[in-house]
Amino acid sequence: MQQLSVVISGFDHYDDVRVNPSYEVPKALAEKGVDGLDDVELAISAVSLPVSFAKAWPTLRETIEATHPNIVIATGLKHAARGVMLERCATNLMDAAKPDVDNMTPRRAPIDPNGPAAYWTRLPLRSILADFTRDGIPATLSSDAGTFVCNSLFYNLLNWASGQDKVLAGFVSFPLINESRHPQHGLPLRHLVTAGADVVRDSVRYYRRPTSGDILIA
Ligand code: PCA
């Protein structure tokens, strides 16, 4: 049986957000696993990162170096999102409108002065979106994850992945957790966990059998 390792990261709580869905989802997936995958033994590691330009990526990289993952899925919270946002592109820009947890507010600065302007995600967004439709998860494709810590982490992750032989990596933004029956804003946690499981399952399938039908940049 093939053994594959997946790292899924989220962020610590910040601002006025008591429970950051971007960590609740990785934690639930690491605890419960993901069904629907035959002939594969999946090891899922969840890690929570500080909302810090300087420390988020080094913290994720430590977990990556300890677990040698085949797939890395980073997640974050987008307060204003109605549904799940599948991020297409990481840009080489920090432009913070508020300080991070270290009280740093980088303005109009590159993340890597020698790096390319942007990277496309390496996750199969089209097949993930198709599964979201099947599971009734409201979702959109998004062109960028902003210019705060989420985008910085995404860019550093893809910068690293570009030097690896075969690692899939990408970023998914979650809305707030909202347990009301018909939420106008945000989604119940169980829907977010279903969405996270779809992302892992499709990424594993794509890792094992890349097909020309799954266009990465959707
Ligand atoms: N969202 C922030 C950083 C941490 C998080 O969950 C962002 O949008 O950059």
At 104-134, the pLDDT tens digits run 999 999 999 999 999 999 999 999 999 999 9
CATH number at residue 156: 3.40.630.20
Instruction: Determine the distance separating the centroid of ligand 1 and the alpha carbon of 147, expressed in angstroms.
Output: 9
Domain tally for the chain? 1
Q: Catalytic: 89? A: no
Residue 216 has pLDDT above 70, yes or no: no
Q: Which two tokens stand for residue 214?
A: 């799954």
Give the residue numbers spanning the domain of 102. 2-214
Work out whether strand 118-120 and strand 89-91 pair parallel, antiparallel, or are unpaired: antiparallel
Given this model, what pLDDT does residue 218 score?
52
Residue 208 has pLDDT above 60, yes or no: yes
Q: Which residue has the tokens 């300890």?
A: 66
Closest CA to 119 of 83, 153, 96, 79: 153
Please give the DSSP secondary-structure letter assigned to residue 11.
E
With beta carbons less than 8 A apart as the criterion, state whether 1 and 41 touch: yes
Residue 41 has pLDDT above 90, yes or no: yes
pTM, two decimal places: 0.96
CA pair distance 167, 118, nearest whole angstrom: 18
CA pair distance 184, 111, nearest whole angstrom: 35
Q: Which residue among 16, 24, 73, 78 is best mutated to probe the pocket of ligand 1, counting the most ligand atoms within 8 A of its Cβ?
A: 78
Closest CA to 25 of 119, 162, 126, 137: 137
Work out whether strand 84-87 and strand 89-91 pair parallel, antiparallel, or are unpaired: unpaired
Q: Which two tokens stand for residue 161?
A: 């992945």
- Dihedral angle computed from the Cα positions of residues 54, 63, 43 and 155, in that order, rounded to the nearest 10 degrees: 30
Q: Whose CA is nearest to atom 8 of ligand 1?
A: 150
Which protein residues are within 6 Å of ligand 1, measured from CB? 11, 14, 20, 22, 51, 76-78, 146, 148-150
